[in-house]
Every structure is written in C-alpha cells, then in structure tokens.
Homo-oligomer: A and B are copies of this chain.
C-alpha cells in the first residue's frame, strides 16, 4: 500500500550532499531543509500553538514518546483524538521512539545500564502474556540499575515516580500509533558516544533487529499505516564502518525515512554523516536527531540531512540567552554555503538592563523587532514568565528562519 509520507527532491547542490525538498504528510508539507521544534510533553515550553504559527513559523513539531507514555499516557492522547487534536498542533508532527530517553533518563547516560545477551536472563525474571521478559522492581534493584536491556526490549524506571515500565519495538510502535503523529520512529538502542566498538556493534545489531520488528508491528495496524510513516534510526556511534553498515542494513528495509541518532560531536558530524548519507536511499528524507545549533545545521545540510530537531532554542531561552546575528557572513568548512554568523547573548548580563535596542535588529522575527533587551533583562531579573516566553519564541523563530535561509540559498545557486 501507499505510505502517507512522500519526499520530493527539488534541487541538489553539486559537489555536496545538500538537497532541497518537500516532505508531504497527512497534515501538510515540510519544505526542507527544515528545523523541527521540540515539544517534549506535547507542548513547546512557553510557546502557544498560535505563537508557533504566527511568530515562529515552523512547519513541523516533535514530541517525545517516552514522556507522553508516562504523562498523560498515550491512551489519554488517543482518546482526545490524537496528538494534533490534544495539543492543538495544526501541522505535521513526529514522535521519536522513546529509545533515547529510556537510556538517558532511565539511567545515567552510558552508565547504570545492565545488558543481557540473547538467551541470558536475570534472576527474578518472569514472562508476560506476549512472551516478553518482565523484570520485577526487586530484580532491577538487585541489579542496582534503572535500565535493563535484553534482546526483547528495555525495562526501565520512570524518572517521575520510579515506577517500572518496559518498552519493546512492538510496544513503542503501539504507543506511537496511539499518539498519532504523522511520522513515527522505530525503537532503537541508544549508546553513549564514548562506548567501545564491541558495545556499539552489539547495540547496533540489536537496533537493526528492533527496526525490523518495528516495521512488522507497524504494518499490522492498517489504520495507522494509512496515516503514519515510519522512520528507521541509523546507529553505530563514532565508528565509520558501523555507521556504514547501519545505513546499508536499514536502507534496505523499506522505511519512509531515516533518523540519524547517537549524540554526535562536531567532529563526528563531518565524517560519519557524510558516509551515512552516501549510503541511505537518496529518495527518502533524513532527520538528524537532537542536533540543531546554527553551525551544526549548516554542516548537516551539506552532509545530506533534511530535518533537524533540538531543545536548545527553548532551553537556553528559558534561562535568558538569545540568538542574534552579528552582521557578518561566514562560509561553511567545505566552502559551498554562505551563512550569517550568529552569537548568543545572555540577557542577564548587567549591560542589558539599559540596552533599549531590540532583541535582534538584524532578525526579521516579530519578537526580535518588537521587544527590547532592556525589557527582557527586566523580565528575567524579576523572575517573570514572560521573559522565558518571549526569548523562546525569538530563539525558535531565529533557528527556523536560519534554516529557511539555507534552503533559499540552495535554491538560488
């Protein structure tokens, strides 16, 4: 059957992997390259859906499966009519697989993760109706871990109340189908970027087996299949040959697009992304997971990524830091894209108390042009909610329009 997600490439940049395209979803088109705003718990922190539309200008938003599963619960969202209705998000949406959060919030990242190889089993294991291993709270405590990985899935404790839960590929898909985003993501095992080869290889192989199971699970729900596309997630850490293998294996599975995961460092970005995107099917969209500082986006675009998400714009905005343009232009490391230089300003700095210039005179955003640094400096010092609100809108608009500018430049070349 036809997938509800399609991707059309309008233009390619010769000499690089950069391309301009359009991802079509049941809730509208996404003109790529594009920045995806993050609304972890079905809300962009401090920003109303109306402000997204009027002042941010994003085309797509991402929510986190792990968080929504724990609170309010995917069944609550399903009963509300799905994520779009529940959160009043009238645009294309994505949910991640929950994999990253299970590993990063369920346990200290890269630590406290207990693994069982295929066939191995922990002491107080039991098997539930679906034939999936379930570990008691006691078992987890015995092992002193909050995140237990086995071949079938991951058992983890909630970061909210310590309650024990289990995700498998099938469960992640079931939850994401209930939430109802346009694009959902196969369950993957995240690793620390510092993990060794053996660990990465094992995790990657398991991610591939889970990817296949995620696809199978998705295909079994005919209703969801009409409304949701499924992305696979390339893993492999900082090992080029593992990344290549992951791209090859997943590229052949028939996904609607791909996430590229695993907390890249800036150095990794340059090398790994290129080799991955040279292998991934060219006619499918590629999403770089969790990366989105301005210069990272430039690199990501040149290395063939189409969409990006990052919590930075709202996270730094909430503490009083805003993006601004310097007025200078920069050239990308391989010399094919020009982009405006950006800085971060900490509005809590004393000098801004009497700085009556607007947030960013070089930005065309409504908030950037309307509100002064002095006013936001006051709001942050006074502990007023409006400070984080306005700074978040500004930063999101900034990074969304920064990415749009790269698109325009590629189209004009």
Contacts and interface: CB of A to CB of B under 8 A. Distances in A.
Interface of A: 41-48, 51, 67, 71-72, 76, 79-81, 86-88, 353-354, 356, 370-372, 374-375, 377-379, 381-382, 384-386, 388-390
A374 B46 contact: no
Given A41-B378, A43-B384, A80-B374, 16 more contacts: A41-B384, A42-B378, A43-B379, A43-B382, A48-B386, A48-B390, A71-B378, A71-B382, A72-B374, A72-B377, A76-B374, A76-B378, A80-B375, A86-B374, A86-B378, A389-B389
Given A370-B88, A372-B80, A374-B80, A46 B389 contact: yes
A110 B41 CA distance: 45
A370 B379 CA distance: 28
Nearest to A54: B50
A385 to B, nearest CB: 5
B76 A386 contact: no
17 contacts: A41-B378, A43-B382, A45-B384, A46-B389, A48-B386, A72-B377, A72-B378, A72-B382, A76-B354, A76-B374, A79-B356, A80-B374, A81-B356, A86-B374, A88-B371, A385-B385, A385-B388
Nearest to A46: B385
A79 B354 contact: yes
A389 B72 contact: no
B41 A382 contact: yes
A48 B354 CA distance: 21
Given A79-B354, A80-B372, A356-B79, A45 B386 contact: yes
Contacts of A354: 76, 79
A71 B375 CA distance: 11
Contacts of A379: 41, 43
A45 B382 contact: no
A390 B48 CA distance: 8
A404 B211 CA distance: 58
A377 B46 CA distance: 16
A161 B87 CA distance: 40
Contacts of A385: 43, 45-46, 385, 388-389
A154 B266 CA distance: 59
A295 to B, nearest CB: 29
A42 B379 CA distance: 9
Nearest to A378: B72
Given A45-B384, A86-B375, A353 B389 contact: no
A371 B356 CA distance: 36
Contacts of A44: 386
A356 B46 CA distance: 22
A81 B375 CA distance: 12
A72 B354 CA distance: 9
A51 to B, nearest CB: 8
A115 to B, nearest CB: 31
Contacts of A71: 378, 381-382
Given A86-B374, A378-B71, A385-B385, A76 B353 contact: yes
A389 B379 CA distance: 16
A276 to B, nearest CB: 34
A375 B80 CA distance: 9
